[in-house]
Structure 1
Amino acid sequence: MSDSDPGPAGPKPRSTAWQTALTMLQEAEPPFIPQGAHVMTVVVEFPPGDPGTPPHRHSGPAFGYVLEGEMLLEVEGEPERVVPAGEAFWEPGGDVIHYQDGNNRDDIPLRFIVTMLCEPGRPMLTLVDEEELARRKDRRAPRPS
């Protein structure tokens, strides 16, 4: 029997699994998408207790999902928060500083995936120096005690 021959039972019924297969993780309205943006998806892996990338910014919005572990996330103007495995996050990019993306746990690794909309001709990640952090300290949410 071939794929085109339905056989004695008739044509194979179509799957309906697609109707319930989608789980909404997040919806966001980014403030901008850079003109001519290209998209990059990366997997980031930090060992237990690693503080992650130093303060930085992205040239466009970034959307992520924690695969394993717990991320300590802090974006300028928002309080730091823990994003556990199975949860999504996003940041607006542009002029906004991304302070933390480190591993919140010292006993397990952190793995997350990020899709970034990058401005052409600019790096997808630029570190922020101490002088700029000092100038913008009023934009950072209060720190936990």
Structure 2
Amino acid sequence: MTAATVLQDAKPLHIPEGASGMTILVEWPPGAAGTPPHRHTGPAFGYVIEGEVRFELEGEPERIVKAGETFWEPGGDVIHYQDGNARTDAPCRFLVTMLCAPGKPMLTLVDEEELAQRAHLRAPRPVN
């Protein structure tokens, strides 16, 4: 028996030269929209501790990541559209470990003009 279980194995990885790493705990109350569209300078690896996270990366359909599941994003130019709480009746909590390029912020918000210019790269939105 082993004490370790592989939860995700992400490839390929681009790690910026001289990168630093950080792990953060994100806690969203019920129904929280999360961080506005943004990007990271390096890859980010997440694990949902509690609840459900609405997750969407540029070029991929929106999905729900539930407690005990993982997610990752490559960083760089890819826009991270959503990371909010998918439930209106319960909080969510998740851990994210990110590698950041030296001298760059961990997270950069994307403005409306760039979102409009890159709209063709976003996966079709779910029909409600």
Do they superpose with TM above 0.5? yes
Structure 1 spans left out of the alignment, 5+ residues: 1-18
1:31 Cα deviation from its structure 2 partner: 3.7
Q: Deviations 1:29-68 (Å, cap 9, x if unpaired)? A: 1441101000000000010000000000001000010000
CA distance in 2, matches of 1:122, 1:29: 23
1:131 Cα deviation from its structure 2 partner: 0.3
Alignment TM-score, normalising by the size of structure 2: 0.97
Q: Which position in structure 1 is the counterpart of 2:16?
A: 34
Same amino acid, percent of matched pairs: 72
Q: Which position in structure 2 is the counterpart of 1:65?
A: 47
Please say which of residues 70-79 and 30-39 is displaced more in the overlay.
30-39
Structure 1 segments of 4+ aligned residues over 4 angstroms from their partners: none
Alignment TM-score, normalising by the size of structure 1: 0.86
2:62 counterpart (45, 70, 80): 80
CA distance in 1, matches of 2:7, 2:124: 27
Q: Which position in structure 1 is the counterpart of 2:104?
A: 122
Which of structures 1 and 2 has the larger relative contact order (alpha carbons within 8 angstroms, sep 6+)? 2
Which is greater in Rg?
1
Spell out the pairing of 1:101-116 with structure 2 (5 A cutoff): 101-116=83-98
Q: Cα RMSD over matched residues?
A: 0.8
The question of 1:95 aligning with 2:77 is answered yes
Structure 2 spans left out of the alignment, 5+ residues: none
In proportion to residue count, which structure has more strand? Answer: 2
